[in-house]
Structure 1
């Protein structure tokens, strides 16, 4: 079960009989400005369900499992000193996200409590888009999705560039001369970032989409996993739709984005070799995420159907996209601009409809 009824007004729940742990937890909750409720044993079911975050020592974790309290998100086992077998067994039994050593991991706990509160308050979502092969058009679809969402919702979202070899999403959108920070200049302190400050610091499109780009040349830089997590959580915390353009290459940043995503989209051209190239990536993502689908991009010179490609990859077909007339020229002359009935707009709308219908993970 997920903490679907949790709100930032409900207290963080700590379940421990260890006085030293309790002191460290109180410090972290105070630093994150979160109310705290402390228990020495299994908590009432209503409090268990409604807590935005649960912290348990190993013994209390086993007691909660024995009491029949269900698995849910936002649970961590905490301990003093190096975690041993008992702590890891307790984490596995209760379905905890991780084991934290206190007081050493207090800063990480503060960041987790603060981010969880922002996310519960905002209710935003995140789509990760990646290409099944190089040049598949993932960056263009990611940008189109962010622009379409902004027009649809009447507010700008956040488009995050995670690929330092992609040439920069600011260039794709024609905002490369707009003032604002790129990844090399973004500094994340303590694993948290203010969403308002981030929006104010980034270049924006005319539609109000804030763009966090990797830059180009010697100035290009790949974002770290902790920074990516902080940026995504900040955007979702204020209700933004966050769209991430994700590199195909495995790495900590890619894994972080895919773990955070409510929907993962693999873009594949309607060509046999492109579909074959995407098989390994699709299998890896399909095995690690519950909500993955494919967008097939035309043209199909060999007559390969979008449904055939989806079947080959073992993924649901989210959209079949016709070629976008004049796209290459438009990108050379000022960046991506969407027409109302364009194929890109249609594919982006299909993704947003799916997200609004509840395809994303609860967290």
Structure 2
């Protein structure tokens, strides 16, 4: 993928035919416009936040079938004069312009040359999902956030609790007594929240790491309610500030969890090498893929049945980032003082996630 320039961010390109793709490349080069070439499926964030989208007939139908929202700046290209199929696809996919190439090359050059706003901030979002109860999704999410803050992966890191039934990430990190806002205290007006204000309002778990945790449930109040609009505002604020936002979804479902999946650059599934966990993970993979295809796998050992991490990854059809051995004494540490900057296998797993976000292992 080409790098993003401040003046003209790459145009998201979903073109499968070789000759048509080569023609789009030639025209983009003439317009001095970079392309971010992908194949379907792509994440919803990539779709909605791209400054310009160039797609062909097949991609237009696939985007519509996947439920991607209509958006401005969508152009459908065809090889030769567009016909009924192309116009139907344009209507289905919400394209604003239909161009037959190479005849309309000059018009596409004009489209490429039109000013476009680059995405702000350069922040990143990762969502951590558990395949089954006890897989360790919350622990991994905390480890990723602590590791990112320790190595200054981004200017700041925000750990977002997306599991109202999980007891609170502030407890996991041992900062339950620290002052600061939790989800029930956060009021988002006009769908926006200032990144600097959000940082200062949240409790600090480590230098550069802030935590947005769920409130403590009681028999009278029940679990925290998290609004999807507030989730989007928090993710947007983190991105605009250039931060890393780590979302712990665990096994939560619902509109707020869907918003976290939609907005993630990467979804990390945590599974154990047990048959029941693998069966649950298959359903989770299918659910997540409908919202975000960018998934990778962490396997938490031990393996009582002798299954290896690569066998679990093959069964799920996901790339394996790491197989994490059991951490002696971790449960006792979490009870006594909460999670601290991880070492050993847990640190390795966290670093593998951060490396994938930056593309270091590609």
**Between 219-228 and 273-282, the greater mean CA deviation after superposition:** 219-228
TM-superposed CA distance for 1:325, in Å, is: 1.4
Q: Secondary structure at the match of 2:128?
A: strand
Give TM-score scaled by structure 2 length. 0.69
TM-superposed CA distance for 1:121, in Å, is: 2.9
Is residue 260 of structure 2 the alignment partner of residue 257 of structure 1?
yes
1:124 counterpart residue number: 123
Q: Secondary structure at the match of 1:309?
A: helix
Alignment equivalent of 2:354, drawn from 325, 328, 352? 352
TM-superposed CA distance for 1:339, in Å, is: 4.2
Does the CA contact (< 8 Å) of 2:226 and 2:256 recur in 1?
yes
Give TM-score scaled by structure 1 length. 0.69
Alignment equivalent of 2:277, drawn from 274, 277, 282? 274
Q: Residues 261 and 327 of structure 1: is their aligned pair in 2 closer, same or farther, counting only changes over 3 Å? A: same
2:177 counterpart residue number: 177
TM-superposed CA distance for 1:46, in Å, is: 6.8
Alignment equivalent of 1:232, drawn from 218, 231, 235? 235
Partner Cα distance (1:47, 1:300) in 2:
50
1:82 counterpart residue number: none
Does the CA contact (< 8 Å) of 1:262 and 1:359 recur in 2?
no
Partner Cα distance (1:243, 1:6) in 2:
25
Partner Cα distance (1:54, 1:207) in 2:
34
Which structure 2 residues correspond to residues 1-12 of structure 1 after superposition, within 5 A?
Answer: 5=4, 7=6
Partner Cα distance (2:91, 2:286) in 1:
31
2:105 counterpart residue number: none
Partner Cα distance (1:310, 1:10) in 2:
38
1:141 counterpart residue number: 140
Listed one character per residue, the Cα deviations across residues 124-177 of structure 1 (whole Å, up to 9, x for unaligned) are 101100100111100000000000011112654000001100100000000110
1:167 counterpart residue number: 167
TM-superposed CA distance for 1:222, in Å, is: 2.9
1:209 counterpart residue number: 209
TM superposition outliers: structure 1 runs of 4+ over 3 Å: 4-7, 44-49, 52-55, 72-75, 86-91
Partner Cα distance (2:51, 2:156) in 1:
33
Gaps of 5+ in 1: 12-43, 56-60, 67-71, 79-85, 97-115
TM-superposed CA distance for 1:88, in Å, is: 10
Partner Cα distance (1:202, 1:135) in 2:
27
Is residue 71 of structure 2 the alignment partner of residue 76 of structure 1?
yes
Partner Cα distance (1:326, 1:206) in 2:
21
TM-superposed CA distance for 1:90, in Å, is: 4.1
Does the CA contact (< 8 Å) of 1:318 and 1:351 recur in 2?
yes
Partner Cα distance (1:10, 1:130) in 2:
34
TM-superposed CA distance for 1:271, in Å, is: 1.5
Does the CA contact (< 8 Å) of 1:126 and 1:236 recur in 2?
yes
Is residue 93 of structure 2 the alignment partner of residue 92 of structure 1?
yes
Q: Select the structure that is richer in helix.
A: 1
Q: CA RMSD in A?
A: 3.6
1:292 counterpart residue number: 295
Which structure 2 residues correspond to residues 333-348 of structure 1 after superposition, within 5 A?
Answer: 333-340=336-343, 342-348=344-350
Q: Secondary structure at the match of 1:236?
A: helix
1:189 counterpart residue number: 189
Q: Residues 5 and 75 of structure 1: is their aligned pair in 2 closer, same or farther, counting only changes over 3 Å? A: farther
Does the CA contact (< 8 Å) of 1:77 and 1:87 recur in 2?
no
Q: Residues 339 and 191 of structure 1: is their aligned pair in 2 closer, same or farther, counting only changes over 3 Å? A: closer
1:311 counterpart residue number: 314
TM-superposed CA distance for 1:312, in Å, is: 1.2
1:325 counterpart residue number: 328
Listed one character per residue, the Cα deviations across residues 296-340 of structure 1 (whole Å, up to 9, x for unaligned) are 001111211111111111111111101111111001011001343
2:102 counterpart residue number: none
TM-superposed CA distance for 1:242, in Å, is: 0.5
Listed one character per residue, the Cα deviations across residues 31-58 of structure 1 (whole Å, up to 9, x for unaligned) are xxxxxxxxxxxxx967998xx8769xxx
TM-superposed CA distance for 1:284, in Å, is: 2.2
Partner Cα distance (1:262, 1:95) in 2:
26
